[in-house]
Amino acid sequence: MVINYDIPTNSKDYIHRVGRTARAGRSGVAISLVNQYELEWYLQIEKLIGKKLPEFPAQEEEVLLLLERVSEAKRIAHMKIKETGGKKRKGGGDGEEDMEKYLGIKDKKFRKLKKK
């Protein structure tokens, strides 16, 4: 999974980043957080790839409700990285399930997107 918390100003950089989601024939997911100032870059990306990207608008109040949990998850992730010296954890996986569990993600729509 790739999460773009800032849209690249160059559309080709976006394609390069998102291309990292699926390797060796596997599917992947990319989520891009776009604000009103990045909308033009977002539209340029759609033009370059020749298709409209799905939108999932969020209300500011909803986002702010999750801010505390996301901040805590980030703090925990940084601690784990320090503990392991930046090495990947044994047993495979990328920690998505742990993060979903911590954040309380139970949204079936999100899970369907992730499996595509």
Question: What pTM was computed for the model?
Answer: 0.51
pLDDT at 116: 44
Contact yes or no for 48/12 (Cβ under 8 A)? yes
pLDDT at 65: 83
In terms of C-beta distances under 8 Å and separation of at least 24 residues, what long-range contacts does 92-98 make, across chains too?
94/1, 96/1
Binned average pLDDT, 10 residues per bin, the chain of 116 residues: 82 82 76 87 90 87 84 89 73 55 53 46
Contact yes or no for 2/18 (Cβ under 8 A)? yes
